[in-house]
Amino acid sequence: MAEAIAATKTTKIKKQSEFVRVFKELAKNKTAMLGLIILIIEVILAILAPVIAPYDYTAMDIVAAQQGPTMAHWFGTDELGRDIFSRVLYGARYSISMGVLAVIISTTIGMTIGSIAGYFGGWVDNLIMRLLDIIQSLPAMLLSIVLSAVLGPGYFNTILALSVNGMPASARMLRAQMMKVRGNEYIEAAQSINCSKFRIIVRHMIPNSFSPNIVQATMAIAHMIVMAASLSFIGLGVQPPTPEWGAMLTGARQFIRQCPHMVIFPGLAIAVTVLAVNLMGDGLRDALDPKLKH
């Protein structure tokens, strides 16, 4: 008995959660860490925007309108004299949260649907896949425009429109993986020790199938940020004076020749965020691959 206790103590130390392991693996990848650090900094800046921002993002100063970058206004000012640096900071709150929320919603729904289709197959699969075909037969941007137009502009409606758009891709990806995993003997073995269908799907099949989905979801964040910005750019997403990056571009585009900084800084914010997300997604793919585990 004492032996058993001693043994469990030594093994206890060895246990490390999957999260810790993946993170350690990720930490070895320098470009992925760069992406992660940029994202963390952006998130911190977004959260602390009220503290850091030198000006109120709605405060207008017509006298100082359309100035280039100066010590007083690091990123310059826009046509109404609002501080672009402050607006970009606040904009991070909208852009990043919209991207992340849209992906969380679309991935959750997509994976639920995909796992059902992949596990059960047959007519269930057929029905689900044909419905997804309908969604995917429309161009993504067009669908988002239609949905936002129907739902009306606004923060949550935009997220919803983007989620519907992203859902089929994750459903399809998980379904394909599930079908591959389904034929494996360990699924049969799980049946033979009496796992329920739900348990087989959740504990055995999804963990073996969803690493492509994680990578896809990370990449999709970048895509969603761009889409959100695009919707705002054409006036359907978040409405001015909300400092969403896409909406800022819309306002600035007529001044692109005279005051390029008005376009450059919000544009740069989008580009850097998207790049960081993609770098991290790449690293995450390597870290999650069970075959590369050491």
Taking the complex as a whole, how short is the minimal distance between the CB of residue 15 and another protein, in angstroms?
5
Cα–Cα dist 109/134, whole Å: 16
Cα–Cα dist 264/252, whole Å: 9
Between 209 and 218, whose beta carbon lies closer to another protein?
209
Backbone angles phi, psi at 218, to 5 degrees: -60, -45
Cα–Cα dist 27/33, whole Å: 6
Between 173 and 187, whose beta carbon lies closer to another protein?
187
Confirm or reject binding of residue 122 to another protein (CB under 8 A).
Answer: yes
3-class state of residue 9 by DSSP: helix
Between 26 and 229, whose beta carbon lies closer to another protein?
26
Length of the chain: 294
2, 8, 130, 258: which one binds another protein (CB under 8 A)? 8
Instruction: Tell me 294's DSSP state.
Output: -
40, 44, 47, 186: which one binds another protein (CB under 8 A)? 186
Between 22 and 60, whose beta carbon lies closer to another protein?
22
Nearest to 88 by CA among 73, 67, 70: 73
Tokens of 183: 């034929």
Confirm or reject binding of residue 121 to another protein (CB under 8 A).
Answer: yes
Confirm or reject binding of residue 212 to another protein (CB under 8 A).
Answer: no
Residues that bind another protein (CB under 8 A): 4, 7-8, 10-11, 14-16, 121-122, 184-186, 188-196, 203-204, 207-208, 290-291, 293
